[in-house]
Chain A
Amino acid sequence: MYQYIIKRLLLVIPTLFGAAVLVFLLLRLIPGDICDMRLAGEGGLVDEETLNTCRAIMGIDKSLWLQFVDFIWGFIRFDLGISMWTGQPISYEIGLRFHLSLQVAIMATLSAIVISIPLGTISAIKQNTWIDYFVRAFSIAGIAIPSFWLGIIIILGLLITTQYFSGTPWMPPIQFKPIWEDPMHNLSQLLWPAIATGYRYSAVATRMTRSTLLEVLREDYVRTARAKGLLEKVIINRHALKNAMLPVVTVIGIEFAFLMGGLVVTEQVFNLNGLGKLFVEAVDHHDFTLTQALVMVVVTIFVFTNLIVDIFYAWLDPRIRYS
């Protein structure tokens, strides 16, 4: 088991290096630079000398090779550098937003787990009944509806219904307060994006639970358990569900990692100052250092989430542990 974990940990190094090379090169392929955006973006009179001074301050007048070495050397020392746009340390910029993204990801994941596992299980047990059809329709709708669109509809729905019933339109807060500071404010802001993203997330997990459970329920050992006269509840909970959970755990892990940096549109729709919104702004501003750092953070989250999922896999399935 330890060997397995060490092997997986060593694989992290080339993965991160590959991602670093890729993001560095891809960013440089986009035409334009931050100084154009920053100084000439709104049409003012800016001379070439000022633009060149800006490029020197930002370090983008250096050779690509030097820029890459700076980036990698910083990353090795866990120094993500300074944001070209705000001049603030990137660790500060990310730190400010990390707990919001983490909370949304946790809330969405919890709601997805709470919804998907019971629904997927019921759907599999009651295959081809009206319950199954309903659950399948519900989950297909969840996959088909983009989260950001659902977010817009949720906000509009809240505005219209509250205006209709109370005369004053209400929308969720657009400023974040940590849950330990003001729980009501925090939850009334983050509940809606968690629902919007959690719905799609739960739909994917529901379908996965249903299909893998159906597969497991047709296995010989389940038939044997039934032949032994075990209670259906015990067969499902102890023998079928645990084995059916392997792919579901993978889906949940990948989705969780995605939520940490991938809510680029949903965060904008709800004006959440999270990592997704920061990502969009960094790309928009041609903030190379911030974009690179964010990509590396998200890649790291993905890599380590996958590692945790793999370890969890080994815990769930002894065959992996002992192989």
Chain B
Amino acid sequence: MKRINRLMSFAIATCVAIGISTGGAMAQKRGGILKYIIPSNPPSADGHRETTFGTIHPFAQYYSVLIRINPSNPASTTDFRCDLCVGDVPKATNYGKRFTFKIRDDVKFHDGSKLTAKDIKASFDRIVNPPKGVLSARKAYFLMVDSISAPDDTTIVFDLKYPSGAFIPAVAMPYNFIYAKKLLDKDQHYYEKNVMGSGPFMFVEWQPGAFIKGKRNPNYYRKGQPYLDGTEAIFAKKQSINVQAIRGGRAYIQFRGFPPKSRDDLKKALGDKLTVQESDWNCVLMVTPNSKRKPFDDARVRRALSLAIDRWGGSKYLSKIAIVKTVGGVVFPGHPLAATKEELQKIPGFWPDIKQSRAEAKRLLKEAGVPEGFEFEFHNRGVDQPYKIVGTWLIDQWRQVGLKVKQRVQPSGPFYATLRKKKDFDVSMDFNCQSIVNPLLDVSKYLSSDVSGSSNGQYVDREVDEMFNKMNRSGDPVEQRKIMRAYETRVLDEKAWALPTLWWYRIIPHHAKVKGWKISPSHYLNLDLANVWLDE
């Protein structure tokens, strides 16, 4: 019944979204240059190679992708739509192991050449099986892919090794830019420094560290779009300059996010000239105990660390000063595979009664032989939002169960080296940030350390690995959800390998004249800007 209700509300939400977008189309104005800030500096223009939003924010607008999250309903985590394919996103055939996409035949690259299924095959080949010397940052997301073929110019077929619910979200990742085969054939590194796609905007100029300019693609295959004459992305890392640039009108929007204080300052300064969009964010800050170090090799101690954290209370106060808000488990809150509040509150550390939790934490610590006033080091990243703020809060939470915590803060480079390579930490801040919400793969963060490169707790738990494989090879959402609950219980309760704190919260204050853009649960999504227009 719950599932039917969920489907009904999803259908209603989709209808409303479509209604709004159709209605809104009447008022869309053409023209203008969208000036926006990117708090990063892209390493290269190659989406297949990079992992930073610094590449997506400036370059997504120049490329098409095979499928994507619905730009009119980006808040949805499951509403995938065709970009280059025709009709709906295809359903799997051949016992869930084959996906056949029919491709539009009216798409042209910016140089005027026709985009065909061969270009899509060449692009995905480069992502799934990169040639020697070519980096593909998302190869690991496509382990289920057996082969890719393009039987004709308008058909692309993906054959999988096993049925996988993670495949479609992986294809919808915004980094999967479609490149021209002829250019890749000449030079696999061409796209690192050059831009030539089929997206709504055409590349004009890129001055590293300063700006990127684009202009409208007059031959864009979605008739009438884009609405803007062009875009101007300005690179500015410092948060204060981001806020001031929006306040002073040097930029209209920044697509990553601002802390609550900046939102309030901008609102105060600009009043009704400012619109604010907010959303849960597909990033979670978590605590990773080093299970090779005593006493954190004891599940009771790890569970006690989790039980000491008042997530529900913390959410209320931290959300006023930091970019965190929502309490959730291992899956992005709101996704059909995520635990409901009732399910979550059964897991130690998520109980609604913090007094009871802390009493249990103290009992477990005593039982494990951890003395009152036990001192350990908490390793954290030297970034204010939200790491240092949440870190300070965590230290206070642990103090309340009699633990004494010293914080070691390191800049990003040394932080990663400690967390991933040297592993010389007691308990560390860790995080799981993804672009598309793809829980079946996103939870690979919690696999055994010898299986997942992003798992840092130094534990081996074959039961967790097995559940992950089973879940990923199941085509049935009901079964996936059932296994996910068992997986979550194992990771957060029985073994307490990792302790999610709070999920991030995305706040985008922008000039009210920026219309058509809708916030999504990730700062990597919905950035082709085709539906954005300026009300001026």
| A268 contacts partner chain B, Cβ-Cβ < 8 Å | yes
Is A45 within 8 A of B416, CB to CB?
no
Is A271 within 8 A of B241, CB to CB?
yes
With A41-B52, A155-B244 known as contacts, the answer to whether A87 contacts B193 (CB < 8 A) is yes
With A44-B137, A163-B269 known as contacts, the answer to whether A37 contacts B240 (CB < 8 A) is no
A161-192 vs B, CB cutoff 8 Å, 1 = contact: the mask equals: 00100001111011110000000000000000
Q: Provide the bound-state CA to CA distance between A143 and B89, in Å.
A: 64
Is A174 within 8 A of B245, CB to CB?
yes
Q: Provide the bound-state CA to CA distance between A158 and B210, in Å.
A: 22
Residue of B240, B415, B444 with highest tally of chain A CB at under 10 A = B240
With A43-B434, A159-B247, A268-B237 known as contacts, the answer to whether A32 contacts B413 (CB < 8 A) is yes
* Residues from chain A with Cβ under 8 Å of B413 in the complex: 30-33, 36-37, 284, 286
| A50 contacts partner chain B, Cβ-Cβ < 8 Å | yes
With A48-B453, A268-B237 known as contacts, the answer to whether A42 contacts B209 (CB < 8 A) is no
Interface size for B (C-beta < 8 A) is 61
Chain A: CB-nearest residue to B238: A268
Is B453 within 8 A of A96, CB to CB?
no
| B41 contacts partner chain A, Cβ-Cβ < 8 Å | yes
| B236 contacts partner chain A, Cβ-Cβ < 8 Å | yes
Is A169 within 8 A of B133, CB to CB?
no
A16-46 vs B, CB cutoff 8 Å, 1 = contact: the mask equals: 0000000000000011110011111111111
A138-157 vs B, CB cutoff 8 Å, 1 = contact: the mask equals: 00000000000000100110
Q: Provide the bound-state CA to CA distance between A220 and B52, in Å.
A: 68
* Residues from chain A with Cβ under 8 Å of B512 in the complex: none
Instruction: Tell me, rounded to whole Å, the shortest Cβ–Cβ distance linking A19 to chain B.
Output: 22
* Residues from chain A with Cβ under 8 Å of B245 in the complex: 171, 174, 271
* Residues from chain B with Cβ under 8 Å of A44 in the complex: 51, 137-138, 433-435, 454
Choose the segment among B24-32, B309-317, B417-425 that binds chain A (4+ C-beta atoms closer than 8 Å).
B417-425
Query: B248's contact among A47, A48, A86, A171, by CB below 8 Å, is which?
Result: A171
Is B209 within 8 A of A269, CB to CB?
no
Chain B: CB-nearest residue to A36: B416
Is B240 within 8 A of A36, CB to CB?
no
Q: Provide the bound-state CA to CA distance between A123 and B155, in Å.
A: 83
Q: Provide the bound-state CA to CA distance between A44 and B44, in Å.
A: 17
B433-467 vs A, CB cutoff 8 Å, 1 = contact: the mask equals: 11100000100110000001110000000000000
Is A175 within 8 A of B43, CB to CB?
no
| A277 contacts partner chain B, Cβ-Cβ < 8 Å | yes
Query: A278's contact among B193, B209, B250, by CB below 8 Å, is which?
Result: B209
| A97 contacts partner chain B, Cβ-Cβ < 8 Å | yes
* Residues from chain B with Cβ under 8 Å of A93 in the complex: 208-209
* Residues from chain B with Cβ under 8 Å of A171 in the complex: 244-245, 247-250
Query: A45's contact among B44, B209, B421, B441, by CB below 8 Å, is which?
Result: B441
Interface residues on A, range: 35 or more
* Residues from chain B with Cβ under 8 Å of A173 in the complex: 250
| B393 contacts partner chain A, Cβ-Cβ < 8 Å | no
Is A175 within 8 A of B51, CB to CB?
no
Is A46 within 8 A of B238, CB to CB?
no
With A54-B135, A163-B269, A268-B237 known as contacts, the answer to whether A47 contacts B210 (CB < 8 A) is no
| A125 contacts partner chain B, Cβ-Cβ < 8 Å | no
Instruction: Tell me, rounded to whole Å, the shortest Cβ–Cβ distance linking A145 to chain B.
Output: 17
* Residues from chain A with Cβ under 8 Å of B433 in the complex: 42-44
Instruction: Tell me, rounded to whole Å, the shortest Cβ–Cβ distance linking A41 to chain B.
Output: 7
* Residues from chain B with Cβ under 8 Å of A286 in the complex: 413
With A53-B135, A152-B240, A268-B241 known as contacts, the answer to whether A41 contacts B248 (CB < 8 A) is no
Interface residues of B in 45-86 (CB under 8 A from A): 50-53
Is B43 within 8 A of A269, CB to CB?
no
Query: B207's contact among A155, A156, A158, A273, by CB below 8 Å, is which?
Result: A273
Instruction: Tell me, rounded to whole Å, the shortest Cβ–Cβ distance linking A177 to chain B.
Output: 10
Is B209 within 8 A of A40, CB to CB?
no
With A38-B51, A86-B43, A268-B238 known as contacts, the answer to whether A47 contacts B209 (CB < 8 A) is no
Is A174 within 8 A of B52, CB to CB?
no
| B412 contacts partner chain A, Cβ-Cβ < 8 Å | yes
Is B247 within 8 A of A269, CB to CB?
no
With A41-B412, A45-B444 known as contacts, the answer to whether A281 contacts B136 (CB < 8 A) is no
Q: Provide the bound-state CA to CA distance between A54 and B133, in Å.
A: 8
| B234 contacts partner chain A, Cβ-Cβ < 8 Å | yes
| A85 contacts partner chain B, Cβ-Cβ < 8 Å | yes
- Can you give 24 contacting A-B residue pairs, CB < 8 Å? A31-B414, A31-B417, A32-B415, A39-B137, A40-B454, A42-B52, A42-B53, A42-B433, A43-B432, A45-B140, A45-B141, A45-B444, A45-B454, A46-B51, A46-B454, A57-B135, A85-B41, A85-B43, A171-B244, A171-B249, A171-B250, A174-B245, A175-B234, A281-B237
Q: Which residues of B contact A (CB under 8 A)?
A: 41-44, 50-53, 133, 135-141, 192-193, 207-211, 234-238, 240-241, 244-245, 247-251, 269, 283, 411-418, 420-422, 431-435, 441, 444-445, 452-454
Q: Which residues of A contact B (CB under 8 A)?
A: 30-33, 36-48, 50-51, 53-54, 57, 85-88, 93, 96-97, 152, 155-156, 158-159, 163, 168-171, 173-176, 268-271, 273, 277-278, 281, 284-286
